[in-house]
Amino acid sequence: MDLKLEGKVVVVTGGSSGIGLATVDALTREGARVVTCSRDVDKLDAAITGLEHADQVTTTRCNVREGAEVKALAQLVAEKFGVLDGVVNNAGGSRMSPLEKMTTEDWHDELDLKFAPVLNAAHHLVPLMADAEAPSMVNLNAVLAKQPEPKLVATSAARAGLLNLSKSLATRLADDGIRVNSVCLGLVDTGQWQRRYEADGSGATFEEYSAEIAADRGIALGRFGRADEVSPLITFLLSPVSSYITGTSIDVAGGVNRYV
Ligand SMILES: NC(=O)c1ccc[n+]([C@@H]2O[C@H](COP(=O)([O-])OP(=O)(O)OC[C@H]3O[C@@H](n4cnc5c(N)ncnc54)[C@H](OP(=O)(O)O)[C@@H]3O)[C@@H](O)[C@H]2O)c1
Using DSSP, state whether 89 is helix, strand or coil: strand
- The pLDDT assigned to 98 comes to 87
- The pLDDT assigned to 191 comes to 85
Instruction: Report yes or no on 208 lying in a domain.
Output: no
Output the residue whose Cα is nearest ligand 1's atom 27.
92
Output the residue whose Cα is nearest ligand 1's atom 25.
14
- Residues 6 or more apart in contact with residue 43 via CB below 8 angstroms: 16, 17
Instruction: Report yes or no on 202 lying in a domain.
Output: no
Over residues 29-51, the pLDDT tens digits come to: 999 999 999 999 999 999 999 99
Instruction: Find the 175 Cα to ligand 1 centroid distance in Å.
Output: 30
Q: What percentage of the chain exceeds 70 in pLDDT?
A: 100
- The pLDDT assigned to 176 comes to 96
Instruction: Find the 72 Cα to ligand 1 centroid distance in Å.
Output: 20
Instruction: Report yes or no on 235 lying in a domain.
Output: yes
d(Cα 113, Cα 65) in Å, to the nearest integer? 7
Q: Looking at the predicted structure, is the pLDDT value of residue 95 above 90?
A: no
- The pLDDT assigned to 33 comes to 98
Over residues 122-157, the pLDDT tens digits come to: 999 999 999 999 999 999 999 999 999 998 999 999
Instruction: Report yes or no on 212 lying in a domain.
Output: no
Instruction: Report yes or no on 218 lying in a domain.
Output: no
Instruction: Report yes or no on 86 lying in a domain.
Output: yes
Q: What percentage of the chain exceeds 90 in pLDDT?
A: 92
C-beta 90 within 6 A of ligand 1: yes
The number of the ligand 1 atom at minimal distance from the alpha carbon of 62 is 33
Q: Which residues pair with residue 57 across a beta bridge?
A: 34
Residue range of the domain that includes 156 = 9-190+227-252
Instruction: Report yes or no on 196 lying in a domain.
Output: no
Output the residue whose Cα is nearest ligand 1's atom 7.
142
pTM above 0.85?
Answer: yes
Instruction: Find the 192 Cα to ligand 1 centroid distance in Å.
Output: 7
Q: Which amino acid is at 59?
A: T
CA distances for 86 relative to 45, 131, 155, 206, 236, angstroms: 21, 12, 26, 34, 11
For residue 233, how many other CB atoms are within 10 A of its CB?
Answer: 18
The number of the ligand 1 atom at minimal distance from the alpha carbon of 65 is 31
Instruction: Find the 223 Cα to ligand 1 centroid distance in Å.
Output: 20
Using DSSP, state whether 134 is helix, strand or coil: coil
Any idea which of 161-175, 207-221, 230-244 has the lowest mean pLDDT?
207-221
Nearest to 92 by CA among 126, 71, 121: 121
Q: How far is CA 252 from the centre of its chain?
A: 12
Instruction: Report yes or no on 1 lying in a domain.
Output: no
The number of the ligand 1 atom at minimal distance from the alpha carbon of 141 is 7
- Residue 151 is classified by DSSP as T
Instruction: Find the 123 Cα to ligand 1 centroid distance in Å.
Output: 21
Angle at 161 between CA 172 and CA 98, to 5 degrees: 170
- The pLDDT assigned to 152 comes to 92
CATH of residue 33: 3.40.50.720
The domain tally of the chain equals 1
